[in-house]
A and B are shown apart, each in its own frame.
Chain A
Amino acid sequence: MFVQTLLTGLAIGGIYALMAVGYSLVFSILNFSNFAYGSIIMLGSYIAYFAMVRLGAPMWAALILSILGAALLCFLNERLAYSSLRRRRASSLFFMISAMGTAIFLENLVYALIGAHFYSFPEVFARTNISYHGVAIGVLDVFAIVFSSVTIYALHTFLQKSRTGIAIRAASYDIQVCSLNGVNNNALIGLVFALAGALAGVSGTFLGMKYLVYPTMGWITNKAYIAAVIGGLGSLPGAVVGGILLGVLETFVSAYVSSVVRDVFSFSLLVLLLLVMPTGLFGRYLEEKV
């Protein structure tokens, strides 16, 4: 049972990691938690679902459509809901309310227009599983882990090697000095949101394929926030480690204690870490912007 639980934990941890990286990207630049990220993930999932079912697109096409769509939506979200607040240097409370408002709006818009109906992706991968010595893992999970790793690695290379990537990393240290050095902050922030949106598209699609597609699926991003704290706020490799670690820990709690207390465990872990070790595993300490 131990190995089985570990494998299950890794599978879900991979998805948490992907969400946590997208969330951390935005957080490291703007120092604010984008509560609307969950709804972008949900929309990415719907886009992929409708691409496969209505347009009959193959999986890779649906994935690409989802990535592009989610990136665009995330970018628009920033432009419409946050940019004017940024320019006004509004307090973080206002950002949060705006983010919360966007999340509620998008969630319920989908609810109202498309309906509360739960959708299931068509079975792309065979219902068989890879089994070894009584331990099994679904084919979809293996694919998801591999694809996520590739995506995160690609992002990492982009951030390390390209000019824009360097600008993003610089902005995460100090955005004002960055603009002094000639970086167009507005465009940069827009790009970061678009990147986060792309990641949201991937996680949304895999989340939808693993479980179901429905309007309130965005709330799973609460786990992304916790993962980001575990790994360390503002650190991207931290987000990955945090996500995987959270997935594994949660699954062990579910299996060995009770599935009912799993979420309580995760939130308690969050509060405990914030009290005792706010920098997490790899993070830098970020003060609350005044």
Chain B
Amino acid sequence: MSGSQATFVKDAQDWLADAVPDRWRKERGALSEEETVEIRMEWDRQLHRGGFAGLSIPSDFGGRGLGLREEVIFHELAAQAHAPEGLGRIGKILTVPTLIAHGSEEQRARFIPAIMEGSQIWCQGFSEPGAGSDLASVSTFARKVDGGYLVKGQKIWTSFAQYADRSILVAKTSMTEPRYKNLSYFLLDMKQPGITFRTIKQLAGSSHFAEVFLDDAFVADEDRVDVEGAGWKVAMTTLTAERGGIEAITRYVEIRGDVDILTGCCIKGSGREADAAELDTRIELVRWQVMKALDFEDNPEELFKRTCMLKVMWSDLWQDVTSLALTHTCAAHEAHWRNQYLETRAATIYSGSNEIQRNIIGDRVLRLPR
């Protein structure tokens, strides 16, 4: 470990020890929804004040201008410190990189500082009931009017919809242009009368997503990213922004905690200790795979070759952990494992189903014919 990395780690640990709210650390389960939202919104502002917002975003755009390595280190330390997850994460991980790549000077100036400060919450309006894995087949339509567009349609699986100030949005802007050329990318104001939403209760009983209904919602011309018809190209930037390693290290800490409960308690005396030990090996390999990938930080193609499988790796593993644990749980952990088992059904579906992830490996890494 280099000296500067050691300093970074020390600073981050000290800051986290002080910054993570005691109430969150100790009684997270007992907090009301309002309290939870307030803590998660305040966390984004704390990150900014502490200098830990946008570690890998260039300093010209208000970030720290550090690398993916520091971003991964911080996310692991934050997860270990039981830090909250800020409500502003869509803005930081999706909106900001997209605006840096494709936004106008004016759009960057208007949105990036607010996102970095934690004063503006974003959501992602990509998926639709008829366009899940096949994103290019969205049917939400943005009709051209004087000064902007009127958007009509429905989005689904939208995290943070009820709190969001703005949404990145992919909508059709042409009925005649061919597939991939008929879409445009917008920065939609969520606080307007034409937008309603309904939360989706999931199989485990909790609600992490919402449906969003757009009924002639207005979006101004200056809130379109790039030209009309460039929506697919811009959306691809959003979707391929390298965040596999950051997500994986956060999951590593969570799954590590679950495996510790399993091997330290539930599996003892079950006769399945060897299966639990293999799960322990697999979760450590998630972390080692991330470390190996980081050595290729400066070579996007080589980096992707080593991160492209992380999502399949940790999500399959997490399900294997909860399946084994549910079968062999002790009485004290039964409620935990029932909930984790049901919650992890989602892990192999969200942020690109594992089937789509395998297609991406086949197409982009192995260059197999389509």
Q: Do the two shown chains form a genuine complex with each other? A: no
Please report B residues at the A interface, Cβ cutoff 8 Å.
Answer: none
